[in-house]
Structure 1
Amino acid sequence: MIPVVYSDYATSILSQLRRSGVDVHEFVSSAGLPTEYEQAEPTFLPLQTVFRLVQLTYDQLGPESGTHLMRVALREHIVPQLLCSVGSETTLKEALKRVIDALKVQLPQSDIELKLFGDHFLFSRYKAVNTEDTTFVWSEVFSLWAMIETIQALTKTDWIPTQIHLQSLCHDNITQCFPATIQFVQARTVSGVVIEHSLAQSTITVTKDETGFREEEEENNGIYYNAISHIYSALRPYVLEIKFDLERAAQVINVSKRTLQRRLKEQGITFRQLRDNLILDMAMEQLQRGETVSRVAVNMGFSSISQFSRAFKRLTGISPSRIALYPL
């Protein structure tokens, strides 16, 4: 299954780009976001799309301004959502474990850990390395700043790690996005930040005002996130059935049609949008593997290449031939 992520990540970045006076129309198209993305805001997007948006942001703004924008997007929109999973008073170590549980829902198929590293702890992320993936470096930069901003929010400090681990090789694209005081260790099995043992064991307090959810939403938030994540994963193998409609989808996940509609509505998505996103994910995955447009059109159940191309461009803003020409 192609990795997916909640649309909040892309929405936050686009919001900050607008604040910086950037015309985001081209960003939406070039990143592979659906053309009606800002109106529909699908619950899930291919993870690669978000990292492509990060890459475009750095290409447009440069390392200093690009990093500032990413940090603001994380601080104002994304990190507060993670803090709602943390109890009012606990240690940083325990708080990060709860944050990781939340991230595993928001970032399906992610491999995020907090583990001992000598006398300290390593807050890490693993992503399979694809040497042809031009966004890999930017996925590391974004993930590392997400870790740093989360720790800063929890500890209410300007903490910066003294050491960062990278899966990729260390070069200017990465080092220019971080303070010069950081030591980089390259070509590791995971990327992550080293946290001092004393800091990991320190007591932290999180108030409701610091989270991204109103009090009445907090109790059900984890339930809704898990529900939509499970729906997405459960329905993907069935989406290409000849009669894949709301009734069939409800049958697959063993709920009533009304319950399924309610759960989708709670996440601001319709069944058609969910189905379209599932088909888009599968088509994008095949195109990025090097399959021809004609083969993908047949695989996705379209009666003609032109019908598939129109549908693909309506959802992404770009033609499938463009993806096929430059596979990741």
Structure 2
Amino acid sequence: MQNPINISNSNNLAPFLAYFEQKGIEWRKIAAEYDFPEDIEDREYWLSSHQAMAFLGAMVKQTNKNVGFDVGRLITLDQISPELVSEFSGCENLEHALHHLLEMMPTLNNYMVVWVDKIDGKWYLCHRGSYHPSLPGYDQAEWFRTFAFISLCRMFLGHHWEPSSVFMSFPDHLARDVTNTANLDAFRFDHAFGAIEVPLSAGFVPVDKPIDSDWLTVITALVQTYAVLPWFNIQWLASLIGTSSRSLQRQFTEHGCTFRGLRDEARCQVAKRLLKANTSPFETAWRCGYSDLSNFNRAFKGWLGITPAQYQKQTS
């Protein structure tokens, strides 16, 4: 089994296990095959995200049900995590909550990236998992993640709020039989990332925190968080913090560094960590923001002078 570079709290599986129990679906045998603790229903554990996704993928095959959709559309945020409800209860509105979400996500979760972006003139709460969409269970994890974010928005927009538009990053044939049981007019599949449309003011700035006092520290942290996105560039970063790319470039120069240098350093660190954990160069490339393995190999050799495969062999 792959080294658990990315981990998930077993509480995230609690709604699925409750669903299986309610429907009389046997799940323990498959859970045992994926080395889940026998008392996972009663105690909190940290599991490999890869392990949890594979379990859900196996349960889909066994039940022929889209369990991610079935469970996701019924959950509320307090069922996922009462601590998160408490965390966001002090927020005045959705905009405040999203600022708080983006600030806390890098320390809360290490297997997804979350951001807010304007697409075709509309604001979206966006998310991208760190595993390749071809992996078993990926679609189930994204259904659950999407509905979890919808549940967060409902804390501020009302329990019956529905997004007008939703993007999913897996192809529509993986929606399984959902189209026969639910209205999916708002959903679009095979997108570059997952996203739900959210009602925010025109002047909303995704990262709304003072950075002048410790500019380089804050910018470096943002780069380390978002460098793994394939489209990550200086224009995108400037939009995230509500400035122009020219102004941002000037700040990099004044602080004696470059955007490209910080981005490549962040990607290099992620790549080394994954390769040391025996993650394949192909999957490592995807997680570092490269859709093409040859481009990743070329970039990695430029960073360290050797290929990812050679580095992996040296550090294994």
Identity of aligned residues (%): 13
CA distance in 1, matches of 2:66, 2:17: 17
Q: Is the 8 A contact 1:10 1:53 kept in 2?
A: no
Equivalent runs, 1:233-312 vs 2, <5 Å: 286=278, 289=280
CA distance in 1, matches of 2:96, 2:141: 25
Provide Cα deviations, 1:122-181, integer angstroms capped at 9, x if missing partner: 111113453641222222212111112222233223122222222222225267178424
What is the aligned partner in structure 2 of residue 10 from structure 1? 13
Provide Cα deviations, 1:32-69, integer angstroms capped at 9, x if missing partner: 42345446532x21112222333344444454666333
CA distance in 2, matches of 1:58, 1:117: 32
Q: Is the 8 A contact 2:166 2:187 kept in 1?
A: yes
Deviation at 1:197, TM superposition (A): 3.4
CA distance in 1, matches of 2:69, 2:197: 20
Structure 2 residue matching 1:55: 3-state secondary structure = helix
CA distance in 2, matches of 1:155, 1:199: 17
Q: Per the alignment, do residues 113 and 2 of structure 1 end up closer, same or farther by CA in structure 2, a change over 3 Å counting?
A: same
Q: Is the 8 A contact 1:79 1:149 kept in 2?
A: no
What is the aligned partner in structure 1 of residue 122 from structure 2? 120
CA distance in 2, matches of 1:174, 1:112: 26
What is the aligned partner in structure 2 of residue 90 from structure 1? 92
Q: Is the 8 A contact 2:78 2:85 kept in 1?
A: no
Q: Per the alignment, do residues 129 and 24 of structure 1 end up closer, same or farther by CA in structure 2, a change over 3 Å counting?
A: closer
CA distance in 1, matches of 2:41, 2:159: 34
Equivalences, count? 207
Q: Is the 8 A contact 2:11 2:81 kept in 1?
A: no
Q: Which has the higher helix share?
A: 1
Q: Per the alignment, do residues 170 and 82 of structure 1 end up closer, same or farther by CA in structure 2, a change over 3 Å counting?
A: same
2:110 aligned to which of 100, 108, 119: 108
Q: Is the 8 A contact 2:166 2:197 kept in 1?
A: yes
What is the aligned partner in structure 2 of residue 130 from structure 1? 132
Q: Within the alignment, does 1:183 sit opposite 2:186 as a pair?
A: yes
CA distance in 1, matches of 2:104, 2:168: 23
Query: Which letter does structure 2 place at the counterpart of 1:193?
Result: I
TM-score when normalising by structure 2? 0.54
CA distance in 2, matches of 1:183, 1:175: 16
Deviation at 1:199, TM superposition (A): 11
Equivalent runs, 1:206-225 vs 2, <5 Å: none
Query: Which letter does structure 2 place at the counterpart of 1:110?
Result: M
Deviation at 1:198, TM superposition (A): 6.1
157-166 or 181-190, which deviates more: 181-190
Structure 1 spans left out of the alignment, 5+ residues: 202-281, 291-328
What is the aligned partner in structure 2 of residue 77 from structure 1? 79
Structure 1 residue matching 2:117: 3-state secondary structure = strand
Query: Which letter does structure 1 place at the counterpart of 2:20?
Result: L
TM-score when normalising by structure 1? 0.52
What is the aligned partner in structure 1 of residue 52 from structure 2? 50
Provide Cα deviations, 1:252-277, integer angstroms capped at 9, x if missing partner: xxxxxxxxxxxxxxxxxxxxxxxxxx
Q: Per the alignment, do residues 38 and 2 of structure 1 end up closer, same or farther by CA in structure 2, a change over 3 Å counting?
A: same
Structure 2 residue matching 1:125: 3-state secondary structure = strand
Q: Is the 8 A contact 2:170 2:189 kept in 1?
A: yes
Deviation at 1:3, TM superposition (A): 0.9
CA distance in 2, matches of 1:70, 1:31: 22
What is the aligned partner in structure 2 of residue 314 from structure 1? none
What is the aligned partner in structure 1 of residue 158 from structure 2? 156
53-62 or 145-154, which deviates more: 53-62
2:29 aligned to which of 21, 26, 31: 26
Query: Which letter does structure 2 place at the counterpart of 1:16?
Result: Y
Q: Per the alignment, do residues 65 and 137 of structure 1 end up closer, same or farther by CA in structure 2, a change over 3 Å counting?
A: closer
Q: Per the alignment, do residues 59 and 122 of structure 1 end up closer, same or farther by CA in structure 2, a change over 3 Å counting?
A: same
Q: Is the 8 A contact 1:82 1:102 kept in 2?
A: no
Q: Per the alignment, do residues 14 and 140 of structure 1 end up closer, same or farther by CA in structure 2, a change over 3 Å counting?
A: same
Q: Is the 8 A contact 1:144 1:192 kept in 2?
A: yes
RMSD over equivalenced CA pairs, Å = 3.6
Structure 1 residue matching 2:116: 3-state secondary structure = strand
What is the aligned partner in structure 1 of residue 175 from structure 2? 173
Structure 2 residue matching 1:85: 3-state secondary structure = helix
Q: Is the 8 A contact 2:72 2:144 kept in 1?
A: yes
Structure 2 residue matching 1:134: 3-state secondary structure = coil
